[in-house]
Amino acid sequence: MMSKIAVFLAPGFEEIEALTSVDYLRRAGQEVVTVSVPDVDSSEITSVVQGAHGISVVTDQVLKDFADESEESLPDAVFFPGGLPGATNLAACEYLIDLIQFMEESGKLVAAMCASPAIVLSKSGVLAGRKWTCYPKMNENLAEYCSSAEKAAELMKGSSVVEDVPFVFDRNVLTGRGPGTAEQFAMEFVRILAGEATAKSVHDGSCQR
């Protein structure tokens, strides 16, 4: 069964995290759409997004076009790679925060890794009552990301951080730790959406460890 996954790239995104998942999901026969998100200080609409390490990617869609299309139907999964200021740019987009909430309410898969679980997902409230992981120590700044300590306590009620693991999958939310865990995270993404047999085929076919 083919799923549609939207991957959101904002200036300063972590390239290895974004493209490893895009690559493995496409190897698994999934429909992956990359979507450009503007810099927080810019209204420029462009499909070219530069990553945190100077690698530019041409996305399949710009955010406005994706938003217009998704009014009819939500994708099966969304993914927010980390990187700075990429995660900060994503979190500043209120449309994306609303989208995350709609996805969660619909039982669809929400995925994020590195800085994005702490900076983006925390703001949406979808981590409440869930186990999750992120780049080390970023969970210590939730008051900043959620605008206040009181708001962070409300949005993150009942959540718990799991440290020193490549990823955590709790119900329909998948979170990952950082660039060095991109392959393991991406393969869990594949397993969730495409199943064990397809995940094994991708694993063996790409000569993974």
Backbone angles phi, psi at 24, to 5 degrees: -70, -35
Are 145 and 123 within 8 A, CB to CB?
yes
Contacts of 108 (CB under 8 A, 6+ apart): 74, 75, 76, 77, 78, 172
CA–CA separation, 126 and 84 (whole Å): 21
Tell how many helices (H) and how many strands (E) occur in the chain. 10, 11
Residue 114 bears catalytic tag: yes
Helices (H), 71-170: 86-91, 94-105, 116, 122-124, 142-145, 149-155
Among candidate residues 93, 114, 134, 207, the one labeled active-site is 114
Beta bridge partners of 176: 113, 167
Q: Give the Å distances, CA to CA, from 77 to 29, 32, 102, 110, 163.
A: 14, 9, 11, 6, 24
Residue 99, Cβ density class (10 Å: 0-12 exposed, 13-18 middle, ≥19 buried): buried
- Give the single-character DSSP code of 139: G
Residues designated catalytic: 114
